[in-house]
Structure 1
Amino acid sequence: MSLFLVNVLLALAWAAVTGSFTFLNFAFGFVLAIFALSLIREQVGSVGYFSRARRVVSLLLLFVTELVLSAWKVALLVLSPRMDLKPGIFAYPLRVDRDFEITILANLITLTPGTLSVDVSDDRRILYIHAMDASDPDATRREIAEGFESKIMEAFR
């Protein structure tokens, strides 16, 4: 049985024992289950589960950071009296190759203000991205490769 499923079942058991099925109580039960499973991680073989969870949380924190920074940059660009923008579409060579990873990367790029995933090539090697300011596409490619794409590869491989 998947350790994530065990974690969810333990959280549901916590909610049933306490008699409160609110989201906050379930989340608390989930955290308690993580703690309980971490105490017996060698016996249940869950060492990989916790390191993956840590890497996924790291990806989420990177996304929130990029979301805030990008929103700030877009706000400054929009509010500036002289909008010196060069919008455009550029090709981004993908290192991720699984459909799940490509979907996550495309969605994270789209959810970040100022950028939009437009299309993926038929061979799934190129992602086409529209940027509000594509004056330096190489820098944007580097930011995506060192940021979202590397974190996705860490979290899901």
Structure 2
Amino acid sequence: MSRFLLNIFFAFVWALASGELSLPNLILGFALSYFVLWLTQSIMPPTRYFGRLSSAIRFVGYFLWQLVLSNLRVAYDVVTPHLYMRPGIVTIPLDAKTDEEITLLANFITLTPGTLSLDVSEDKRYLYVHAMFVDDVDEFRDSIKNGFERRLLELMR
């Protein structure tokens, strides 16, 4: 059984044993069982689970930060009389190889206000993204490559 499934199982056991099956209690059970599994990792077969969870937390934090920043930028452009947007379509070369990696990257880009994933090239080497604010194409491309894609691949691989 994978450590993640074991972690979820122990979280449910905790919630049922405490008598309250609620989200805060499940989160507490997940955190406690994660700690216990982390303590017992020396007697269990090696796994990358503990490194991936910290990568997942960093990725979620980065995504939420980008979500806030892009919401503020779009809102500012909407409420001011002068339009600051410079829309454009940018080709992003992909390091992501599998369909899952490409799909997740495209979806996280689309979930961020002001950007929309349009298409993937036939050979799956390029992602086409429409953005409201493309002041510098290379800077925008670099923000996707070293932001979303790097963190997502760190989590997925």
Structures share a fold, TM > 0.5? yes
Partner amino acid, structure 1, of 2:134: A
TM-score by length of 2: 0.94
Give the Cα separation in 2 of the matches to 1:91 and 1:115. Answer: 13
- Gaps (5+ residues) in structure 1? none
Map of 1:112 onto structure 2: 112
1:47, CA displacement in angstroms? 5.0
Q: Please state whether the residue corresponding to 2:86 is helix, strand or coil.
A: coil
Identity %: 43
1:46, CA displacement in angstroms? 5.1
TM-score by length of 1: 0.94
Q: Please state whether the residue corresponding to 1:110 is helix, strand or coil.
A: helix
Map of 2:31 onto structure 1: 31
Give the Cα separation in 2 of the matches to 1:26 and 1:153. Answer: 28
Alignment length (residue pairs): 157
Q: Please state whether the residue corresponding to 1:92 is helix, strand or coil.
A: strand
Give the Cα separation in 2 of the matches to 1:105 and 1:6. Answer: 28
Map of 1:77 onto structure 2: 77
Give the alignment of 1:43-122 within 5 angstroms: 43-45=43-45, 48-122=48-122
Give the Cα separation in 2 of the matches to 1:104 and 1:72. Answer: 24
- Assess if the C-alpha contact under 8 Å between 1:38 and 1:46 holds in 2: no
Map of 1:146 onto structure 2: 146
Give the Cα separation in 1 of the matches to 2:38 and 2:98. Answer: 30
Give the Cα separation in 1 of the matches to 2:56 and 2:22. Answer: 24
Give the Cα separation in 2 of the matches to 1:144 and 1:90. Answer: 10
> What does the per-residue CA deviation read over 1:53-76, in whole Å, with 9 as the maximum and x for residues that have no partner?
101111111001111111111112
Shift of the 11–46 alpha-carbon distance from structure 1 to 2, 3 Å rule, reads farther
- Assess if the C-alpha contact under 8 Å between 1:114 and 1:133 holds in 2: yes
CA RMSD of aligned residues (A): 1.3
> What does the per-residue CA deviation read over 1:73-110, in whole Å, with 9 as the maximum and x for residues that have no partner?
11122222111432222211111111111111111111
Give the Cα separation in 2 of the matches to 1:19 and 1:118. Answer: 48
1:39, CA displacement in angstroms? 0.9
Q: Please state whether the residue corresponding to 2:29 is helix, strand or coil.
A: helix
1:45, CA displacement in angstroms? 3.1
Shift of the 25–8 alpha-carbon distance from structure 1 to 2, 3 Å rule, reads same
Q: Please state whether the residue corresponding to 1:4 is helix, strand or coil.
A: helix
- Assess if the C-alpha contact under 8 Å between 1:115 and 1:131 holds in 2: yes
Q: Which moved more, 1:133-142 or 1:110-119?
A: 133-142
